[in-house]
Structure 1
Amino acid sequence: MDQSKTQLPHFLYASKFTSAMWKLKVHLVGLIVHGIGIYGFFDVFEYPHSANLTISTLINILAMTEDLPPTLYLQMDNCYRENKNRFVLGFITLLVELGIFTKVKMSFLMVGHTHEDIDQVFSRFSSWLGRKAILTLPKLMTGFECCTTPSPTSVRTSHVWDVAGWIGKSLNKISNHSYPHVFKVEKRDGQTKLFYKKWSTDKVWLETTEQLLMNIPTDAPQPVVPILTKLDLNKLKNDIRTSFSYFKRDEDKKWWEEFFEELNSFESTSETSETPWPLQQLITNAKKRDHEIIIEQQQQDDDNEVTDLSDEDEPIPPIIVGTKKTSTLKSNGSVTVGEMVLLNLQEFCNEWPQVAQVVEIEEANSTCTIHWYKVQNQPTGSHVLSL
């Protein structure tokens, strides 16, 4: 999405001053978790837009997902700096190595064809901004949630980890990975391997000669300290406060003053809030999922076993060579006195099958006497049949 459209304050009608004033740049990362929801992660350029931001956003959204699937499919922008790089490939390899996923497939669109389903959400948000004046970040995030259906979820990016510095020491060197458009990571023969192909329509997967992930990092990555150098805080304060004359609500002015105090606290300290690295939570969720899959599979096996035994005990009909004879008897070959039966007698072959009742059975002669009921233009009567 064009990041200039999310700059704050966003005025519906621009004057000479508001067009030239220094504004707060707001960065939006959009994600669609198919079947679950749409998410927008907002930051104010206090974090570098690198692989760290991409991986931190990915692991945060995975931690928010209650039921992890066995296979993870990723569709990402074809951007080397943020997405298609050694660290992102190494991280998805780690997810498979730790058993969080059995397979991860990551795809990129070809150059010039970057219109993905998330772009439709950005288009709706852009259209919504064209009709509204948005002066603060909370109202911008609320607007994102109102711009389309189903309603997206806005998240303020507050935790980014230095995953590149953490996992980089455990990764092998890699080159030429900018050419393929599809990657796949899965275990083969007990080893986590990286496969790739140029296009999704290619039938043959190519395999790297060596493993990308050489070992599993044992510690946790350090949080990234927010940096405000890109904001030009002094100029931002002056221009925002000058623009207060265009603000109708005091609550919007109050938010900006509180926001400036928050930025001052960032500048005065280099400490970051203690936030647990979510990887262990993902491992726990994956173990729970795998256990449930095993229990479900065992139940299916038990059901199949009962069904198989039942099928084996059932008698099978004899193989008939030649013309199959029509039997008037039950499948077990027996009739009882008083039972109602259907007859298809030769003398009434052009009529509907007759309904009859078994009157007598002579086992010695293998015959039975039946009484059939009225047939068209024929009286009722008795008939002897051979069993």
Structure 2
Amino acid sequence: MFQRLRRQDERSGDNFSCNDVHYTFDFSQYVKLPHHTREKGPTYFIQPRKIQIFGYRVDGDKQYNFLIDENETIGRDGQLVHGPDAVISMLDHAFANYSLGENECSLHADNCFGQNKNRYVLGYLSWRIMTQRHQKITYMMQLPGHTRCLIDAGFGNIKTLYRRKDCDTLQHIAEVVSNSSHSNQPVTYGGGSGWVWRAWKTFIGDRFKKVHNVAKYHFFRFSSEEPGVVYMRQSAVDENEVRFVICKTHLLEMARDDVPSQIVPPGLSAERVRYLYRHVRPLVRRPFQDVLCPAPEES
């Protein structure tokens, strides 16, 4: 609905803006390549190529599923995909390309401290306020014991179709995502519509402070009325709110076009390439063997 309104407004020449849009982001369990509906026994004893899935759901519209191959991660051989540089890079790309032009928004994320709830994501959200990308942001974490959220429905549709399809390449996974439901859309790295990795951890670390005892808070809000400040509560209904100046005072002025430097993925190690060629390639359907498990370069 929001997308239709935005397109109609663009045709009329007006600037469309809506308030209090809700987003959800989270990681799904990775999928593997190759995957065949009738798995061969040796598949269970190898280390297949892993495709990570990061979902960004626009409430009432679409779910954008970032598909990350092992050779496209910030770290070598699929490493660091859950780190702050990766999470914020994808979140920033999603805000820039899939948001609805709103002034205010709310975000839901899971309660995994190592993935999302850390100083860098909070610093990034404050940075968005300070660079006038949003006027108000509410960031909510699920309480312990509540492990399901809206985005899991989209992941469930993907996994349901994935189990019934033969997949040997990243493109096959993208087709599964597209066909799994009307709201699911794949996003792949690089190219004209893909995202890029940026060094957000260093960028945020130089400008924002660490929030102490952050694990006990589940509700955060940022406002343009007090840029550089975050208000925190242990739950949305908690009346006790803690005010914290998260921005380092000597860097309160921030240029809108000042963004972190780009990170180029290091790709696969020679050892991993040899392993895929020797152990995984025989299980891949012949037309796709050179795509998923190319021959190692001769040294």
Same fold flag (TM > 0.5): yes
- Equivalent AA in structure 2 for residue 146 of structure 1: N
- Percent identical among aligned pairs is 22
Question: Aligned with 2:139: secondary structure?
Answer: strand
- Equivalent AA in structure 2 for residue 223 of structure 1: Q
Aligned to 1:323: none
For the 8 Å contact 2:68–2:189, the answer to whether it is kept is: yes
- Equivalent AA in structure 2 for residue 221 of structure 1: P
Aligned to 2:10: none
Cα displacement (A) at 1:204: 4.3
For residues 163-195 of structure 1, the C-alpha deviation after alignment (integer angstroms, 9 at most, x for no partner) is 11112111124211111101001133x544210
Aligned to 1:162: 199
* More RCO (CA 8 Å, sep 6+): 2
Aligned to 1:11: 36
Aligned to 1:281: none
Structure 2 residue 185 is matched with structure 1 residue 146? no
Count of aligned positions = 254
Match of 2:281 among 222, 241, 244: 241
Aligned to 2:46: 21
Distance in structure 2 (CA, Å) of the matches to 1:230 and 1:169: 35
For residues 59-98 of structure 1, the C-alpha deviation after alignment (integer angstroms, 9 at most, x for no partner) is 1111113641011211011122221111110110011111
Larger Rg: 1
- Equivalent AA in structure 1 for residue 29 of structure 2: Q
Structure 2 residue 247 is matched with structure 1 residue 212? yes
Aligned to 1:84: 117
Aligned to 1:41: 66
Distance 1:43 1:133, change over 3 A: same
Match of 2:137 among 91, 104, 108: 104
Distance in structure 1 (CA, Å) of the matches to 2:56 and 2:243: 29
Cα displacement (A) at 1:51: 0.9
Distance 1:207 1:223, change over 3 A: same
Aligned to 2:56: 31
Aligned to 1:221: 260
Question: Aligned with 1:178: secondary structure?
Answer: helix
Residue ranges of structure 2 left out of the alignment (5+ in a row): 1-26, 75-79, 191-195
Cα displacement (A) at 1:132: 1.7
For residues 140-162 of structure 1, the C-alpha deviation after alignment (integer angstroms, 9 at most, x for no partner) is 111011112x2311011341101
For the 8 Å contact 1:170–1:217, the answer to whether it is kept is: no
Structure 2 residue 292 is matched with structure 1 residue 256? yes
Distance in structure 1 (CA, Å) of the matches to 2:264 and 2:224: 35
What is the alpha-carbon root mean square deviation over aligned residues?
2.5
